[in-house]
Amino acid sequence: MLALPLLVGAAHAGPRWWHLLLGAAWVVGYLAFHAAGLWLRSRRKPRYVAPLRAYGLLAVALGGSAILLEPTVLVWAPLYAVLLTVSLVLSWHRADRSLTNGLVTVLATSVMTLVAQAPASPDMVAWWLAGTLAAYFAGSVLYVKTMIRERGNRAVYAASVAFHLTALVAVVAGASAVGEPTAITGLSAVVLALLAARAVVVPRRWPGARPLAVGLGELVASLALGAVLLAA
């Protein structure tokens, strides 16, 4: 979830050295965000101050350098400020594992596909790539909940299935609308159809699957979708 949107966005924009700096800032920024979440959930215990300070200072240095080289990325700053605030407030309330926080994280990481287009404005294909990744990751959040924290919850299961089917239709329609080749549209449909089938079958057929198995399944799904989007 952290790497794929940036890789896909950089591939679409045309990879350059700035993307390495952006990637470093993004990863270290995530580590600072994670440390801040731990600090808030612990009710500001001193043990988390050192990693928060170290990652935070490094993130400021790397992020500031990326902004100096491509100031146009600041157009995304208000959105990330809102998403960061919401997520940290949820961490303070120890709701970091909530569906809301999961979807906030999905939006934050998927938008990196568009950030990577700087200095140009994202074209329609970039928006489709970001939307496809957002649809996949949001579906992943729901699917994983049906397998672990919300196992046996019929409402969450129904929401997961409905979302996967809707995402399948939306992504395929979007691919056709932006002029993606038939092969890419077809491959996208195959991957998302398999994910929808998984969302329907696995929680019922293997409800006791271990988290490790669920995680490995997500890794395979991410690689498969990533291959299709990189080909696009």
pLDDT of the residue at 174:
95
* The pLDDT of residue 132: 97
Print burial letters for 48-65: b (CB count within 10 Å at least 16), e (below 16): beebbeebbebbeebbee
What's the pLDDT score for residue 232?
84
The residues near 130 (Cβ < 8 Å, ≥ 6 apart) are 5, 9, 110, 111, 113, 114, 122
The pLDDT score that the predictor gives to residue 46 is 94
Neighbours of 221 (CB within 10 A): 19
pLDDT at 76: 97
Across the chain, how many H-helices and E-strands are there?
10, 0
Q: How far apart are CA 139 and CA 193, in angstroms?
A: 12
CA distance 84 to 23: 18
pLDDT of res. 37 = 95
pLDDT, residue 192, reads 96
Measured distance CA(69)–CA(161) in Å, rounded: 43
The tokens 């997961």 sit on which residue?
160
| Residues 61, 120 contacting (CB under 8 angstroms) | no
Q: CA 203 from chain center: how many Å?
A: 22
Low-confidence residues of the chain: pLDDT under 70: none
| Spatial distance between the Cα atoms of 37 and 52, rounded to a whole number of angstroms | 9
Given this model, what pLDDT does residue 54 score? 98
183: helix, strand or coil? helix
